[in-house]
A and B are shown apart, each in its own frame.
Chain A
């Protein structure tokens, strides 16, 4: 299992559109992907789960990847966050 932290820079936080795009990105990999904010954790392949975290600008999330192709998934998702959020 691998994990990394990221602080959201987008003014609106993780809103519906990037949440949807993140799901698409995460779903492209066979490994499990989870997002945590504080003590809340959710499956990153589920849009309602991500939106339900209610992540706002300036808040830190932890992305965990576990399983097949986790290295690639981590690189791709970290790039996605940098570019979109």
Chain B
């Protein structure tokens, strides 16, 4: 059986299902003759319950932080609420009933009041009122709260979980939470996120008890919940889970470690990104910086040329979020195959070799200068470098540098602060490779775009599926070009990196290191895999 739910945290859990039953609170109505003594019993139970809440608060403070622990402070205040206390004691005195019954009835009445409110947040507070009444009743009855979770870790199924219940759970026994009720902001959701375990809410499971002891799978990525999955589904998820765990292990072992080979050769590992939103991924992946920030998204997402302010805002944000780590921003790289309507580019027979990238920028200088101004202004807020795509000649680089000089003079005049950025170019045309010795005299760094370089060098259109078997990114011609660019760059004091897909190809990592590359820029999810590879290499040994 497969059910849908709303995922509050990703991940896969496979295990036995354990239904979290609320203890059936058999509260009997008993006639009491000494009502004063009974009221006193209630007061001391209330004090005891508050002591428990203080302990829970301290525990939650450590486990889920102050904001989430605050709920137990609120519970304590609720226990001190005069309306609540008066309601219970009045009931004991006037109806001559036991404290358990009075507390349960009052809890239900107050919960009813919240349930009737129009605000969803307030409706959810009904659970809190029942929670505090149940706590008092447990104290009065001398029973322990919560369910003892059996031997093996399991997937916990529940109607809903009260905050006190989640905090009291033995966390080492919980693989995942699945609840019928609850919201994305419920305590269960917060706890799941803090514990890094998958959790689903709003799962429409009719008879909870029937699932007890059965095998279940929680897919926190897709929001799916399987009960007694078939063999094929099970093995698919087992595989997925192993991959997940491997990734997690890698992360634990490799985070914060240097990208250094066994014999001490270091290389920078940066990330390729296509928008401001990817910065979080970059930071999580433990990249040393951003090696390729494609600025196209700013142009493709808008209806007209993005203003200097818009661009400045985006670049500045990335620079600030990277907190001093290097951010290499590539200027606009679009062509007839990838454009926005307002550019008004004509359809071309062969857009890969057409009017695109730096060719458009040097033709539409106003647009280009706006981007350069935004970049220079943003440079002040971090470590920003700028990189130009599709270069084929020294003349182009000189033209770019003239425009940069104009932009800097303007900013000086307007007293707008900026830093002197490193200037680099993409090496992605065979022409740039062949004159890389000359280009190196003009710039601070090279970054090789292997995708375009391969297509131009091998004369293979990547869009043509008939040529797939000929497209060989390990072609000797490409490898010789890489070596040539690295050597020519280094001779003139440039640092040299690779930002194409080849950078993440771990079968070439050793080759790159031996060629002396200074940097590899890869998609964030590949950073740790490449780091793993680097740390296992020994360049002192002959390559095998």
Interface residue ranges, A against B (CB under 8 Å): 12-13, 15-17, 19-20, 23-24, 43, 45-49, 51-52, 54, 56
Contact = CB atoms under 8 A, between A and B. Distances in A.
B30 interface: no
B284 to A, nearest CB: 27
Which secondary structure dominates chain B's binding surface?
A: helix
A20 B74 contact: yes
Given A16-B71, A20-B74, A48-B81, 17 more contacts: A17-B73, A17-B74, A19-B74, A20-B70, A43-B82, A46-B83, A47-B77, A47-B78, A47-B80, A47-B81, A48-B78, A48-B110, A48-B113, A52-B113, A52-B114, A54-B117, A54-B118
B297 interface: no
Interface in B60-78: 70-71, 73-74, 77-78
A13 B74 CA distance: 16
B82 A16 contact: no
Interface residues of B, number: 22
A49 B82 CA distance: 9
B221 interface: no
Contacts of A17: 70-71, 73-74
29 contacts: A13-B119, A13-B121, A15-B121, A16-B74, A16-B125, A16-B128, A17-B71, A17-B73, A19-B74, A20-B73, A20-B74, A20-B78, A45-B82, A46-B82, A46-B83, A47-B77, A47-B78, A47-B81, A48-B78, A48-B84, A48-B110, A48-B113, A49-B83, A51-B114, A51-B125, A52-B113, A52-B117, A54-B118, A54-B122
Given A51-B114, A56-B119, A24 B77 contact: yes
Contacts of A16: 71, 74, 125, 128
A46 B87 CA distance: 13
B74 A54 contact: no
A19 B78 CA distance: 10
A43 B125 CA distance: 19
Q: When A and B form their complex, which 6 residue pairs have the shortest distance between CB atoms, in order from nearest?
A: A20-B77, A20-B74, A16-B74, A47-B77, A48-B81, A47-B81
B336 to A, nearest CB: 46
A54 B82 contact: no
A18 to B, nearest CB: 10
Nearest to B79: A47
Nearest to B122: A54
Contacts of B119: 13, 54, 56
Contacts of A46: 81-83
